[in-house]
Amino acid sequence: MMKARLDTHPRWCGQGHLCSADRGGEHRSHPLTFDPPAGAGRIVAIRIRTRGGQDRLEIRAVVDLPAGDQEQARAAAAGMVEQVCRAAMATAPARAGRR
Phi and psi, residue 3, nearest 5°: -80, 145
Q: Of all helices (H) and strands (E), which one includes residue 57?
A: strand 55-63
Q: Give the pLDDT confidence of 25-81 residue by residue, as tens digits.
A: 899 999 988 887 666 778 888 999 998 889 988 888 887 777 777 787 778 778 777
Contact 19, 13 (CB under 8 A): yes
Total number of domains in the chain: 1
Query: Can you tell me the distance from the alpha carbon of 78 to that of 62, in angstroms, rounded to the nearest whole number?
Result: 12
pTM: 0.63
Q: How far is CA 54 from the centre of its chain?
A: 14
Contact 49, 6 (CB under 8 A): yes
Domain limits at 20? 16-91
Q: Is residue 9 part of a domain?
A: no
Q: Is residue 30 part of a domain?
A: yes
Q: Is residue 6 part of a domain?
A: no
Which pLDDT does position 81 carry in this prediction? Answer: 77
